[in-house]
Structure 1
Amino acid sequence: METGVSANSRLTIAVHALTWIGLYRRRGHEVATSEQIASSVNTNPVVIRRLLAAVSKAGLVASRRGAGAGWMLARDLSEITLLDVYQAIDPGPIFALHRTTPNQECVVGHGIGPVLTAVYDDVEDALRSELAKTTLEDVLRDVLKVA
């Protein structure tokens, strides 16, 4: 899915946006606008809207239309892990094999797929395991320590 930002920064921007919404809610605000969130991220509100639209499909945020329009968390920060956000914005594998089948007559072409699949599966498992350890509550706590 193209959102106007690189694949490597989408997770960061989504985590930033959701954490900001959570802090904004704690400060007594029910909904946050794309413009407010974009100001913190220093990006265009359209980027925020596209990213949060994907995140809303995963049930992490909800949007309100009309008067008082904006975004709100659908779950508490302590109930959302980095893995939840990652899966919401980029559910596919990190690495992919060839788009076309390599030359099976070639020793490398024949064996490269199974070998790399095993490595890529291990990388994916490690990534998911690490992301699952951190909630957005953890992120906010650590951000506030730095601030």
Structure 2
Amino acid sequence: MSANSRMTLAVHVLTWIAFDRRGTVDEVGTSRRMAASVNTNPVVIRRCLGELRNAGLVQTSRGRGWKLTRDASELTLHDVYLAVGGEMFAMHASPPDHQCHVGHGIQPVLLRAYQGATEAMCGSLARTTIADILRDTLAQADDDTATVHRAS
């Protein structure tokens, strides 16, 4: 089983749009340009943008491509989490054996445990914005560049 990367993809796309929105890039914000940053197919980006549009986080702008519907400082990772499905844990793909002592009672117990974990995670995500991610991403790039220059 692999981890679901839809959240990471959506945050990457929104952060890219926030960076582009600063006016530092003169080209149209297309799915092809975003796909180059993510290193994926533009179709994957378009699917992601569709989810984000349906959630009201992005919209298309004539001549500018995609844009955020509100300032990056007002867009939280919790908003993104909800946009991409808002599910951290899932129950069994098929119902467990209710004749088994463990199978009979495990789902309600897991639901309670998962609820607490989800609430804690959502609280943390609500405190982090796309603007925070962009700021820290650019700082990381600056740190990495400085490290490369010091090593040369």
1:15 aligned onto 2:11? yes
Structure 2 residue aligned with 1:51: 48
Using structure 2 for the length normalisation, give the TM-score: 0.81
Aligned residue for 1:102, secondary structure, equals coil
4+ long deviations beyond 6 Å: none
Give CA deviations for 1:54-74 in whole Å, capped at 9, x if unaligned: 001111100246xx3621111
- Deviation at 1:7? 5.5
Aligned residue for 1:63, secondary structure, equals strand
CA RMSD of aligned residues (A): 2.1
Letter in 2 for 1:88: A
Q: What is the count of residue pairs matched by the alignment?
A: 139
Letter in 2 for 1:73: L
Q: Gaps spanning 5+ residues in structure 2: where? A: 142-152
Q: Gaps spanning 5+ residues in structure 1: where? A: 1-5
Q: Given that residues 30 and 72 in structure 1 are in contact (C-alpha distance below 8 angstroms), is that contact kept between their aligned partners in structure 2?
A: no
Using structure 1 for the length normalisation, give the TM-score: 0.84
- Percent identity between matched residues is 55
Letter in 2 for 1:76: D
- Decide which of 107, 110, 113 is 2:104's aligned counterpart: 110
Structure 1 residue aligned with 2:34: 37
Structure 2 residue aligned with 1:76: 71
- Deviation at 1:22? 1.0
Structure 2 residue aligned with 1:132: 126
